[in-house]
Chains A and B, each alone.
Chain A
Amino acid sequence: MAVQKDIGAYICSGCGLGDRLDCDQLEKVAKSDGRAKLTRQHEFLCSKAGVEMIQADIDAGDVSHIVLGACSRRAKTDAFNFENVVMTRTNLREGVIWVRPDTDEARESTQEMADDYIRMGCAEVKYQDLPAPSQEQGLNRNMLVVGGGITGMTSAIEAAKAGYNVGLVEKAGHLGGTAAALYKRVPERAPYSLPVDNGVDSLATQIQGNPRITVYLNSTVTKTSGAPGRFSVDISTESGDTTTENFGAIVQSSGFEPYDMSQLTEFSPESPDVVDQLGLEALAKEANGGAIKRPSDAKAVESVLFVQCAGQRSEKEGHLSYCSGHCCATSIKQAMYFKQANPDTDTVVMYTDLRTPGAGGEDFYRSAQKQGVIFTKGEVSEVTPGDTGPLVKFNDLILDENVEQNFDLVVLATGMLPNSGVNIDAPAPAEGEEVTETPVSILNLDYRQGKDIPQLVHGFTDSHFICFPYETRRTGIYTAGPVRRPMDIKQAMDDATGAAMKAIQAIENSSKGLAAHPRSGDLSFPSFRKEGCTQCKRCTVECPFGAINEDERGFPQYNEGRCRRCGTCMGACPVRVISFANYSVDSVGQQIKAVDMPDEFEEKPRLLALACENDAYPAMDMAAMNKVEYSAYVRAIPVRCLGSVNTIWITDALNSGYDGIMLLGCQKGENYQCHFVKGSEIAHIRMSKIDDTLSQLQLEKERVGTHEVAITDVERIPQIINEMAETVQKIGMSPFKF
């Protein structure tokens, strides 16, 4: 070991720690078992004096690694904010005295708990180094936007306004996307009364005059490789010319495809006088403010019916189950086209739930009513080509009757389908199965894990997190607009700005080697011992963020810029060669081993809790704040994610005599809460295989439990711990105590 590690252990005796614990004993433990070079006690460690005391030791070069035996790592972070030193917080307050009764009987076991945590803290820092940025980070500060619709144009303009250069790739020969096909759009600012200009020309003009934006028309992205800060992108024209450009981050605004209305056979889609909303836009554009004429005979439309939710919000085969969000306001806008041209036009919007949310939506709805648009709550069952125009059969839900009525024109409000490229999670077609349609990839990612962004649901690439709409699964690549989630223009423009924000942030952080959300700011990154690697590829498969490729010789290539530092790769590695500077198989494993293991006959079981630092560990802190007690036999170690738990920790713990082990992670499955997507799920799978180890050791299955907990499980986690203590009492102590 090249670097000298001087451990300083600082014990706080404030907040009742001094009354409840023998702090001199803790110092002794730090010195003898923890091999601390120096130990100090302070009655108020987080005070200015306490902090200065620690800082003085750091400044004097006396300590390089510090262990603070005080409160939780979640408390007093502003006080304990030291630079250039490895620090661990040993949780004596929330983790020990606040969860134990203040009684004479409890005193001994409480002290043992604290002693062990000091041993663990010292063991942890011993195996930690100060993380430094990797040297692989790229410094490219340009942003790529894929898709030149209103979302992409907005992203480009907003990023340029912040001083960043942007490459804007559009597969068509002009900018504007779907919005360019609109006669007008729904207003996004007061007054919410009439349709407004579609806004495409104004954005296109801004782009043309902007020296920071380079537009690639008739082009697609044919290859994307690299990582944030150093993406290398092939941009190819239709004719096959390819240029390779470098970018720091990517916004994918590939928009949507309209639902294919020909599938709605019950509505006579073949009839020329039955159109979808985009079809109506074309008619309106043609009329350009004059009377809108129906396609069949160019007669000016005198009556028009808008059928909401056509092929949407329906479980029928081939229909979309979701709501496309914009269609109610769009139909209202289109009904206004007719009313503006001729107030006498009969315009009926038939809906089951009229959805015009937000401040402006209701005003826009009212405005249409004022203009004489009729809204009928009803369900259209059939449209047939009538003699004088489409004949519509519907059930009027208010008047509770079935009606047939002729209209000159019927507009179907069909839904949007995300243009999200290849579904990389789709099961491979079975042999012999005919592949009808292969979606065209948008990004052509040169990632081992697939060509495009993983999809969340219904093909949309949305984030799974309510608090974090831009929590992408491909670092440095953000989707925006209707490819992310069904949305209207107003939201898409906001979304475009938000995505540009995240892309810029990815550029800034990757240039410094800093992690992206949720471990934002983390400098540590995975590295591996090449000589130990067996090229099993498990790390590349299990990485939830598609960060890891393989080099030409089959070794993993970590692409730190793409890495989110969850440690799932570390947990996956069967030969344990992957580690972070401050988080490794050893930094946790040695804590497990550092616990003083009483022998079998002392009847003092030891329980290990590996707790997710995002949810389970804070919940334990909050249990402490609420003075919920739990067993003194437990030793809790926060982990970055359950996905980082390497089974060797479990095996080692069992071998060194732990009587019970609990893994506390987040919810998995469809509504997963794991911040690293699959960590909790993977941990459950790995732990299901622990049974073999247990049976080999002739240990009971009940000794290892994997639990899905939430941050609110303030009562439940202590209960899980106590139940494990009871279980051990029932099945007896582990025989592996040496």
Chain B
Amino acid sequence: MTDVVATNQTILVVGGGISGMTAALEAAECGKDVILLEKNPSLGGRVSQLYKYFPKLCFPTCGMEINLRRIKARNNLRVMTLAEVTKVSGDKGNYSVDVKISPRYVNENCTACGACSDAVSAEFDNEHNYNLDKRKGAYLPFTMAFPQRYVIDPAMIGTDDAAKAKDACPVGAIDLDMAEENIQLNVGSVVWATGWKPYDAAKIQPYGYDRFDNVITSVELERMMDPQGPTGGKLIRPSDGKEAKDVAFIQCAGSRDRNHLRHCSRICCMASLKQSTYTREKFGDEGKSTIYYIDIRAIDRFEDFYQKVKSDSTVNFIKSKVASVVEDKDTGNPILKGVDTEGYKRYANPHDLVVLAVGMEPSVNFNDAPVDIVSNEFGFIEANPENGGLFGAGCASDALDVNRAVQSATASALRAIQVVNQVAEAED
């Protein structure tokens, strides 16, 4: 049984992406007692699935390494994975939180040696790679996964493969009888850093994401670029594996649109600008990127990056919301149709690959979450005094880029500290 001691001076952070890790760390590095919950088997969240960050084009794993090291060094910060909040009751300074912990089937003995994975043959969709490839049924979610501990896919339980995994483990780390647990935590305040999810591109029917192989999403492109990703870092077309030298980016794919997400997701313009550099990275002057946009929202000093990309002769900008995508049956080329609104130029442009700059929606829609918290019509948590000791952080509170999400998370850590400090003061 998981034994977790928490008090009304404990801060609970829900969500182990960069915002949650930040909120938890900032509070813990202030000496506070913190519990960090993550529903997946590993911390890391969305940023662990990114190849590079804009505008520096640096690697997200670099910051993650620092954050993990900070977490490892903190005894007052406890991490619980495969854990989900099922109910919150109580008030500011004294909440009772029900948490469901799903079985990992691997205990703390695991040394991440990989013997179990070698022993099994069953494969499942690899969610870390947006299901673009398969992973084993006994797996480490990704190389930097933390806790550095393997997971047995629940679908494998009861099969021969599960038994093989168990037999292969030299340290008795596999426990196939592990069951779901439900625990209750008493905490003073809760930071919700539940993050975002990409908008379901299949819902944008005219773009044919569900019909054409060579229409992919921006998050999938990030995985493709990763040397450890599904294509081993190759920028290729899913239909035929040919190099995708001529890439089109469709902005506002699901954002600023009453048919989909009414809000602007903020990150997608910068993401496509960034991804246009991937074409250059792979193919130099032979690569070509075309960005179809309504407004390029490269605010503050991100503008510098926009100007830099704009000055690249291989990158084209067309002010147009693409009307539809059709497929050239002979070549497999997606053909983009629409009108360049600057001066009314009609186009039907073939490209090798189309990347939909998909919008950002809150991972948990707080309008129907197991917690009473004020959220706006988009499902993001509002900074509302009525929320008491519950605070939103990062993309649970707005569509934010990484830098702003971390800023928001740092702020939320202080708000949580205010609550527990007031509790401590009252009890003194």
Residues in chain A within 8 A of chain B (CB atoms): 14-16, 44, 46-47, 71, 74-79, 81, 158-159, 161-163, 188-190, 313, 315, 321-325, 351, 353-363, 377, 397-398, 400, 457-458, 460, 462, 464-470, 485-487, 491, 494-495, 497-498, 500-502, 504-505, 508-509, 517-518, 520-521, 614-615, 618, 622, 625-626, 666-667, 671, 673, 675, 710-712, 714-715
Contact = CB atoms under 8 A, between A and B. Distances in A.
Contact of A322 (B300, B382, B418): B300
A482 to B, nearest CB: 10
Contacts of A469: 403-404, 406-407, 410
B111 A498 contact: no
Nearest to B377: A190
Q: Enumerate the 5 nearest inter-chain pairs by beta-carbon distance, A residue then B residue, closest first.
A: A467-B63, A497-B411, A498-B410, A501-B414, A357-B266
Contact of B298 (A189, A323, A618, A626): A323
A505 B29 contact: yes
Given A81-B75, A162-B421, A508-B31, A458 B57 contact: no
Interface in B237-252: none
Contacts of B73: 77, 520-521
Contacts of B414: 158-159, 162, 497-498, 500-501, 504
Contacts of A15: 111, 113, 170
Interface stretch (B180-188, B206-214, B256-264, B278-286): B256-264
Interface stretch (B123-131, B159-167, B215-223, B302-310): B302-310
A675 B62 CA distance: 10
Contact of A358 (B144, B228, B264, B418): B264
B56 A466 contact: yes
Given A363-B263, A397-B342, A458-B301, A710 B18 contact: no
Nearest to B295: A353
B398 A355 contact: no
Contact of B111 (A76, A521, A675): A76
B251 to A, nearest CB: 11
B112 interface: yes
A78 B108 contact: yes
Given A325-B299, A508-B30, A467 B66 contact: yes
B411 A614 contact: no
Contact of A359 (B56, B61, B303, B378): B378
Given A14-B171, A398-B342, A504-B414, A457 B301 contact: yes
Given A470-B410, A521-B73, A355 B297 contact: yes
B304 A457 contact: yes
Nearest to A79: B108
B304 A190 contact: no
A468 B58 CA distance: 13
Given A460-B301, A520-B70, A44 B65 contact: no
B67 A467 contact: yes
Contact of A161 (B74, B263, B403, B418): B418
7 contacts: A351-B295, A466-B63, A467-B403, A498-B408, A501-B413, A710-B62, A715-B227
B26 A502 contact: yes
A4 to B, nearest CB: 27
B238 to A, nearest CB: 23
Contact of B171 (A47, A486, A518, A625): A47
A521 B31 contact: no
B63 A75 contact: no
Nearest to B65: A618
A712 B59 contact: yes
B18 A467 contact: yes
Interface in B105-157: 108-109, 111-114, 143-144, 147-148
Nearest to B74: A521
Contacts of B398: 358-360
B380 interface: yes
A613 to B, nearest CB: 9
A627 to B, nearest CB: 9
Of B70, B147, B300, B406, chain A has the most CB atoms within 10 Å of the CB of B300
Given A357-B299, A359-B378, A14 B74 contact: no
Contacts of A16: 113
Interface string B387-428: 000000000001110111011101101110110011001000
B383 interface: yes
Contacts of B400: 358
Contacts of B301: 322-323, 457-458, 460, 462, 485-486
A351 B297 CA distance: 12
Contacts of B148: 74-76
Contacts of B298: 323, 353, 355
A190 B382 CA distance: 8
Given A466-B53, A501-B410, A322 B66 contact: no
Given A188-B383, A497-B414, A521-B29, A712 B61 contact: yes
Interface in B48-102: 53, 56-70, 72-75
B376 interface: yes
Contacts of A46: 109, 111
A135 B26 CA distance: 25
Contact of B65 (A158, A462, A711): A711
A44 B169 CA distance: 12
Nearest to A501: B414
Of A353, A360, A504, chain B has the most CB atoms within 10 Å of the CB of A353
Contacts of B408: 494, 498
Of B67, B147, B399, chain A has the most CB atoms within 10 Å of the CB of B399
Contacts of A460: 301
A489 to B, nearest CB: 13
A162 B377 contact: no
Contact of A466 (B26, B68, B402): B402
Contacts of B69: 74
Given A189-B383, A358-B266, A398-B342, A711 B75 contact: no
